[in-house]
Amino acid sequence: MHKLVTGFFICTLSAGMLIGGGFNLYEFGARSSTLGGAVVAQAYDASTIFYNPSGLAFLPGTNFYGGVTLITSTAKYTGAQPTWGGAEHETESQWFSPIGIYLSHQFSGRFSAGIGVTNPFGLGVKWADDFPGDYISRKSQIISYYFSPVFAFKITPELSIGGGPDFVYSSVDLIQGLYPFKGPGSTGPEVGSAELEGGSGVGVGFSASAMYKTERAAIGFLYRHKVTNKYDNGDATFTYDENADPNALAFAKQNITDQKVNTEVTFPNFLSIGAHYLLTPQFGVEVDVMWFRWEVVNELALDFETLPTTVLNLDYENSWQVRVGAHYEATEKLSFRAGYIYDQTPQPLKSMGPLLPDAKRNDFTAGIGYNFGRVQVDAGYMLVNFLERSTVEDGVGKNENNFDGAYDTDANLIFLSLGINLKK
């Protein structure tokens, strides 16, 4: 029975709370996002608080910049033959709305400071009721909040440094079907559902950055440190279907009870380096390279209220992203932007499943901005195309929960932001 109860948490926590690249967000400002996030070498607005805090030193006055990213995605699962019959299933439509809100002020010609609120991890997946993999996941959602006060100091007219602490809180809600007689390749009768809800304590990390900027060229650097969130007294609750198989139902009720569980989750550190160049006074291009240290989530320890501690090995791998952005200033007020992102996945095949069907991605962005003087309005769109990926390799299923098949995912993002220069 220890394995039965912990099996629920192993499936949900390993993919849902630790997150792979599919749950990692970098879109916290419409202007920066429509440039493919390739902005570590430029300070276009107060969202530089997130992308490169040292850029505040090049941003005059008092500035507000805030907005929302509207995200919807669908994932299609095709079951592996012969166990899962080749049947196709899709996730239900959901909308998510992570925010990026910033306020900055230049106190002198050399010193600036600001604060930002973002959700770098904040998505979810929900499958239909007839999904055969609901013993792994029926619904998963995680939200993180990064509160980031930062500073910037201009060492020379061309060179600045910056950074500050990150205070991080996160919450999780995970649901799966409950199958007390589940075995390899089969689930047995379903008797209800299991849900895990919890909120973390506040974890602390930091960012450190630099920017060197001339009239036509610039380079930028950002390092954001890992953050560990501890989940104490998470609630595991079990709901039973009284019309379920009577033997399985009686067995589950006798052996599975609501209880508490403690664990901790580490969000990875990452490094971003980029260069921007103005090919003409109106047309500029930037290329950034990002490295994520996902190996920090190599294992997960689950400390139960009444059961022995279980340690799960995850084996996440470090990953890279390449980001390219281009902008054309058509007039002093009107700007056009576009971008491209290549994104590796850190997730090994054994961890790939309905909680997080992650894969390599190609992202394409486009957007527009209009300046009304002290007011800047930005909008744009991103298509996220995940490469189709199967957990079957050389005819052998790799998924550790014996739920093999292929996943094909697409996501659509809409960006809307408003910037205001409050004081020249």
349: Cβ–Cβ under 8 A, 6 or more apart, which residues? 391, 393, 398, 399
pLDDT confidence band for 260 (50 / 70 / 90): confident
205-220: pLDDT as tens digits:
999 999 999 999 999 9
User: Residue 21: its pLDDT value, please?
Assistant: 54
Contact present, 65 and 47 (Cβ < 8 Å): yes
What backbone phi and psi angles, to 5 degrees, belong to 286? -135, 145
pLDDT confidence band for 1 (50 / 70 / 90): very low
Q: Rounded to whole angstroms, how far apart are CA atoms 67 and 131?
A: 35
pLDDT at residue 18 tops 70: no
pLDDT at residue 73 tops 90: no
pLDDT confidence band for 23 (50 / 70 / 90): low
231's tokens: 């989940």
Domain-by-domain residue ranges, the chain?
A: 20-171+202-225+263-297+316-423
Q: How is 276-341 classified by DSSP, letter by letter?
A: EEESSSSEEEEEEEEEE-GGGGSEEEEEESSS--EEEE-----EEEEEEEEEEE-SSSEEEEEEEE
Contact present, 110 and 10 (Cβ < 8 Å): no
pLDDT at residue 14 tops 70: no
Superfamily of domain 20-171+202-225+263-297+316-423: Outer membrane protein transport protein (OMPP1/FadL/TodX) (2.40.160.60)
297's tokens: 């989530």
pLDDT at residue 185 tops 60: no
pLDDT at residue 9 tops 50: no
Place of tokens 């997130």: 50
